[in-house]
Amino acid sequence: MDNIALKASGINKYFHDPVTMQVLRDINMEVHKGEFVSIIGKSGCGKSTLLYVLSTMDTDYEGTLTINGTNTTGLSLNQLAHLRNESIGFVFQFHYLLPDFTCLKNVMIPALRLGKYSAAEVEQRAYEKLKMFGVEDQALKKAGKLSGGQQQRVAIARALINDPAIIMGDEPTGNLDSKNTGIVFDLFRQLTVDYKQTLITVTHDEDFARRSDRIIEMADGQIRR
């Protein structure tokens, strides 16, 4: 178990409005530390729903979810919020940066909220993360002034500010052209190889998925392979 970053056992989920419908069916999966996993499948197959369960943002499910050895099922909302901020980094299709804040401030926000480091330490860490992705020269520029590719790199830096155990991406290259998609993939690969980060991404991009360590294919709310 020491090498398991995430384990989901017997996950079932239902939507109840307007009628009851099962959207996840007996999901069982393990992701190892330092592994780069892509979840693929047609629209509506349940992959994004699964990611939100795995991220602890959706707690309305049956089954158990363990992250870094901690059973998260049944934890309070405050406990889950703390666990997410400390242990999970998020990269979405849209960057969700605050456009009128500087890139540096955007990256600092999750660490300031966590309260583990002083403000000066957080600022230094934020600069280091921006430097990892080649956008340190944009640190004091407002996020809304950056290109789409630069914004996504800043968003990845923000996801890493608390050194999370797992990075989760929901279509992280969905809004990018092929050049920037390649850049983001290379950054993700660097995170797993050089920094031993664990990545779980949902993607429609088959080329992106094929280049990851392992593909989990979903259909009709189930894992097919």
Question: Could you report the per-residue pLDDT of 170-187, keeping only the tens digit for each?
Answer: 888 888 888 888 888 888
Supply the pTM of this predicted model.
0.88
Is 60 exceeded by the pLDDT of residue 40? yes
Nearest 5°: the CA angle 74, 78, 81 is: 95
% residues pLDDT > 70 (the chain): 100
pLDDT above 70: residue 161: yes
Q: Which sequence spans correspond to the domains of the chain?
A: 34-59+75-223
* Inter-CA distances, 97 with 63, 108, 167, Å: 33, 11, 17
pLDDT exceeds 60 at position 1: no
In tens, the pLDDT along 67-90 reads 988 999 989 999 999 898 888 988
Q: How sure is the predictor about 43, in pLDDT bands with cuts at 50, 70 and 90?
A: confident
110 CB burial (10 A radius; 0-12, 13-18, 19+): buried
Q: Residue 7 — pLDDT band, cuts 50, 70, 90? A: very high
pLDDT at 149: 86
Strand partners, 31: 6
Give the model's confidence band at 38: pLDDT under 50 very low, under 70 low, under 90 confident, else very high: very high
| Domain 34-59+75-223 grouped into CATH 3.30.465.10 | no
Alpha helices of the chain — where are they, by DSSP H? 47-54, 77-87, 103-114, 119-132, 148-160, 178-195, 206-210
